[in-house]
Structure 1
């Protein structure tokens, strides 16, 4: 049965409401990545979590998220994005309820893994549906709004958690940090059933490559797991790094299998031809590096303000509010220009973000503890302006030359870059932070100067990562100018 363009993209009256549902769900998944930062101490007090469980609560979500992305993206492309969206949202709702009611730490860790798996099912469908709903400059506007929303979710996450803990107390507060997802997700599930288009473009003869899916999932697991298990404390197991050898083996097997699968005329999990497209290749690299730094910055500053300076969760959470507001305004205002000037906006955005984070490092390192949260919040606004420019523009540039039939898997591989960046960035910074504080005598013993020294080391590492991101963005811009392609063409809807 052939779908008409209207049925594929949805009617003019429902496209933007459908987009709003997709964006709201994406924000829910990102909120659960960010708002957990301020809940770690209350959870530890309630359930007695140690370093390993704490790391799994944060990074286990990222791990499951990353493993599910590409398989879910390919399945959405070849089967039905709307159906997978509804399945993923239903599982996410149930997992959130289980997190909120968890009686022991093992149940909470398991529920977080399930929640991350559901988020990994959802995000590729969101990106595929946005590609499907809009074309041309309108798509640039949509990705601008989407980028602003993701930035808000990342930045407001600690604020939401801090407000709930400050209002409801430690135990009830952290439980409602997860429980708030349940009513919101149920409302969105009903709206998705009514508004999301069921029809979508597909390539003829497309199959689901189960062997390729298994090899890729194994590779992502083996790459991310050593970082997820890194805490910087005495319970780290050095042998975990041997898992990277297994990742190299399964990764090589995946590439060989995919090439063979494509040679016999079948549809591989990932079309490696996508990486010959400069905009897609650099977009994935920039995404990976940028997300290696951004969530880790929030985590380090939250740990420093709460543990090093003794501020409550609410204060540490509110620090990100100016960042969130400015990033939203920046992304919304610049979204109208992303279709024409995406590479330029990415360079300008990453450069501005670098300046802002350097300012945060200086202020946090030298400001009096009493005034540090307010000053950090003010300087954070500069980095928010940069992040707002990057999010929508890079999302737009990465996917603009991708055919609609590949939108789900292409977008999900970019998300794999995000989650891999999350895992590596969070692991490196948290292990550096906890190792530094342990060397100074541990939490409750280390003095403010030890915390400042450790925070400075972590932020310097992250500044280096942002510097690499800026270099990649400049190389991409120079290459685009040489090819005369700073303004992308519309991809074929094959």
Structure 2
């Protein structure tokens, strides 16, 4: 007899969802880490004031909390896959606006949008792991998510330092903020695949 609970997803069905969550988790944590290192280059490139830079550093965290609190419950009601994809789309839109921002004000606004998307994503990631895995498999999934966060925290500053030292300030910070966006696209594609859906009465990963 299987040791897994009846509601637990089989590994082949759950694995694509986990990879999507790990890619999104890495991207959002990486993005939150590198902005501190990119801020001086932003100020030099766009001529932002001290207040503008402070808003730049705080904006992501402010809306992250706003997105995190209600979106977990919304995922329960409307399906985690739907909220996950919505969060990725919001984050990607904010990221595209941030990379191309012509002024500090536009960049700060874009970071507000990204923070909101990251909060929505993070709530769904933890919920998906809770719903799709049980027992030891859940512990391994949570460990993988924790490891991805640690890796993002280490690689973020290193990559930011390399880019900021290799190219001019105006290009460097844009490249730093661009770096996590391909992972967001990859997570969106994985999340969109039908095989990522869980078939159960609750169907929390279903659209």
Band of TM-score, shorter chain = 0.7 to 0.9
Residues 248-272 of structure 1 show CA distances to partners (whole Å, capped at 9, x for unaligned) of xxxxxxxxxxxxxxxxxxxxxxxxx
| Larger relative contact order, structure 1 or 2 (CA cutoff 8 Å, min sep 6) | 2
Instruction: Quote the residue 1:166 is aligned against.
Output: 165
Matches within 5 A, 1:303-342: none
What secondary structure is seen at the aligned counterpart in 2 of 1:127?
helix
Residue 9 to residue 84, structure 1, CA distance change in 2 (3 Å) = farther
Residue 110 to residue 201, structure 1, CA distance change in 2 (3 Å) = farther
Matches within 5 A, 1:57-456: 57-194=56-193, 195-197=195-197, 199=199, 202=202
- Indicate if the aligned counterparts of 2:13 and 2:198 stay in contact, CA closer than 8 A: no
Residues 270-313 of structure 1 show CA distances to partners (whole Å, capped at 9, x for unaligned) of xxxxxxxxxxxxxxxxxxxxxxxxxxxxxxxxxxxxxxxxxxxx
- Structure 2 gaps, min length 5: none
Instruction: Quote the residue 1:26 is aligned against.
Output: 25
- Indicate if the aligned counterparts of 1:81 and 1:198 stay in contact, CA closer than 8 A: no
Residue 144 to residue 110, structure 1, CA distance change in 2 (3 Å) = same
- The offset of 1:200, in angstroms, is 6.0
- The offset of 1:134, in angstroms, is 1.0
Distance in 2 (alpha carbons) for counterparts of 1:179 and 1:200: 37
Distance in 2 (alpha carbons) for counterparts of 1:183 and 1:34: 17
- The offset of 1:118, in angstroms, is 0.5
- Indicate if the aligned counterparts of 1:99 and 1:107 stay in contact, CA closer than 8 A: yes
Residues 50-78 of structure 1 show CA distances to partners (whole Å, capped at 9, x for unaligned) of 22221221211000000111111110011
Q: How many residues align?
A: 199
- Indicate if the aligned counterparts of 2:23 and 2:183 stay in contact, CA closer than 8 A: no
Residue 199 to residue 80, structure 1, CA distance change in 2 (3 Å) = farther
- The offset of 1:45, in angstroms, is 0.4
- Indicate if the aligned counterparts of 2:38 and 2:160 stay in contact, CA closer than 8 A: yes
- The offset of 1:127, in angstroms, is 0.4
Residues 337-390 of structure 1 show CA distances to partners (whole Å, capped at 9, x for unaligned) of xxxxxxxxxxxxxxxxxxxxxxxxxxxxxxxxxxxxxxxxxxxxxxxxxxxxxx
Distance in 2 (alpha carbons) for counterparts of 1:156 and 1:171: 21
Distance in 1 (alpha carbons) for counterparts of 2:75 and 2:169: 39
What secondary structure is seen at the aligned counterpart in 2 of 1:56?
helix
- Indicate if the aligned counterparts of 2:64 and 2:116 stay in contact, CA closer than 8 A: yes
Over aligned residue pairs, what C-alpha RMSD do you find? 2.1
- Indicate if the aligned counterparts of 2:87 and 2:120 stay in contact, CA closer than 8 A: yes
What secondary structure is seen at the aligned counterpart in 2 of 1:112?
helix
Instruction: Quote the residue 1:12 is aligned against.
Output: 11
Residues 14-51 of structure 1 show CA distances to partners (whole Å, capped at 9, x for unaligned) of 32232121011011111111111111111000111222
Instruction: Quote the residue 1:38 is aligned against.
Output: 37
Residue 47 to residue 199, structure 1, CA distance change in 2 (3 Å) = farther
